[in-house]
Amino acid sequence: MTRINRRDYLKGMGAVAGTIASAGGLEVLAQHRHEIATFPNLTQQQPKDKLKMDLSKIYEQSGPRKYDLVSSQSVKLIFSGLMAFSREGTTCVVGFHSKESGKHRHHLRIKVFRIEADTCTLMGSEIQVSPGTSMQLQVTQPDVLNGVYYLHLPQLPDGTRHESDFRNVPNLEGPDWYNSDLNAQADVHNPKLIVENGLFYTHQRTTSTFRRQTSEGNDVLEVGSIANYIGANIYLKPGGQVKLTVGAQVITLPQVAGVKYEVQFYNHCFNKLKNKDCVNEFKPYHLTDKTERNDFYMNYEGLHHPPPVEYLLVIAAKGPGSSPDICGRPGRATDEAPCAGVGFGGREGFPSFP
């Protein structure tokens, strides 16, 4: 087993200092600019079973930053890399992009950690997951929540969106993108994980900001920071458990006092031509080649009928690097070319919680 002291790790990593600079080289593409999207106060749509919930186990309920998540979950799922989050009935289906482009492909890897006394212990070894591998997630005796929820929060006192809000995940079917249903190919987002219980939220946003635009620089919309790491908290009653099955491998995570678990699903890019991971491979300020700028373009390869106009994700301003609060895996120094998930949540988006 590999032991990592989480506090020492995060303290050592720190935040990489950097000056926020405008992506001036790309301004030539932005011929028609829109004002940055604003986030009005929300009319909260309460879950039908809210009266049965102890919301104090989920987020703070007082103070100027109400709704900051508290660490009361038994199991935390962490998703990073190219993938799609889709609503199917009352479940959330997470599809991991595995179709190759001319330059890039993505390969799913899973790590499971046991956290006790603020120390992360790797359980077993990293799991390499091939396309076509079956995966199943079973939750026994859930607590607080009964079903799948997506965190939508009122704006902060300074008028910005809360960093944990699930709407930091770009919803390609929503009004900021295509405002229409898109038909995803099942064989592209493969393997898949069906989640039937948990609270989805943004675990970490990019510090860099982005805009949506065409390759010609038209129809520009400032989208700000986007979700870089996506979390799903699962709460268990005493005696409950989460069981993850990956192929023939079964990982059981029982509820134990003083113990938490973190399951990381890591689907990042591999450069086929250079035969190595795409670490510092992308050129986020590249003016003409979308395949050099980031791997966002690969989302369109997962559609049966790509939309007639392809919107690209283009950096607007560079932010300082940051490290996610997760076990055992350092964050990249910068996030100018994020390899991150997108949503297929319909025109109205994913259902709101609280």
Taking a C-beta distance cutoff of 8 angstroms, is the pair 69, 172 a contact?
no
Measured distance CA(184)–CA(86) in Å, rounded: 10
Tokens of 131: 């396309």
Quote the pLDDT of residue 141: 97
Of 46, 254, 54, nearest to 145 (Cα)? 54
pLDDT at 76 over 80: yes
**Quick one: average pLDDT of 273-277?**
76
Q: What CA–CA distances, in Å, run from 332 to 96, 207, 320, 325?
A: 20, 12, 11, 13
Measured distance CA(326)–CA(80) in Å, rounded: 11
| Strand ranges inside 26-125, DSSP E | 75-81, 83-88, 91-97, 104-106, 108-116, 119-122
Taking a C-beta distance cutoff of 8 angstroms, is the pair 110, 265 a contact?
yes
Quote the pLDDT of residue 354: 87
Confidence of residue 52 (pLDDT cuts 50, 70, 90): low
Of 113, 114, 94, 108, nearest to 196 (Cα)? 94
The amino acid occupying position 291 is T
Q: Rounded to 5 degrees, what angle do the CA atoms 271, 276, 277 make? A: 75
Quote the pLDDT of residue 50: 53
SS3 321: coil
Quote the pLDDT of residue 110: 97
- Exposure class string for 304-340: b at 16+ Cβ within 10 A, else e: eeeeeeebbbbbbbbbebbbbebbbbebbebbbbbbb
The amino acid occupying position 4 is I
Confidence of residue 273 (pLDDT cuts 50, 70, 90): confident
Quote the pLDDT of residue 322: 75
pTM: 0.85
Quote the pLDDT of residue 1: 46
Confidence of residue 44 (pLDDT cuts 50, 70, 90): very low
Residue range 299-341, pLDDT digits in tens: 988 788 888 899 999 999 999 877 889 998 665 546 898 889 9
Burial of 46 (0-12, 13-18, 19+ CB in 10 A): exposed
Percent residues over pLDDT 90 in the chain: 58
**Quick one: average pLDDT of 25-49?**
43
Chain mean pLDDT for the chain: 84
Residue range 155-202, pLDDT digits in tens: 888 888 999 999 999 999 999 999 999 987 778 899 999 999 999 999
Strand partners, 120: 4, 115
Residue 168 phi, psi dihedral angles, 5° rounding: -70, -15
Quote the pLDDT of residue 14: 36
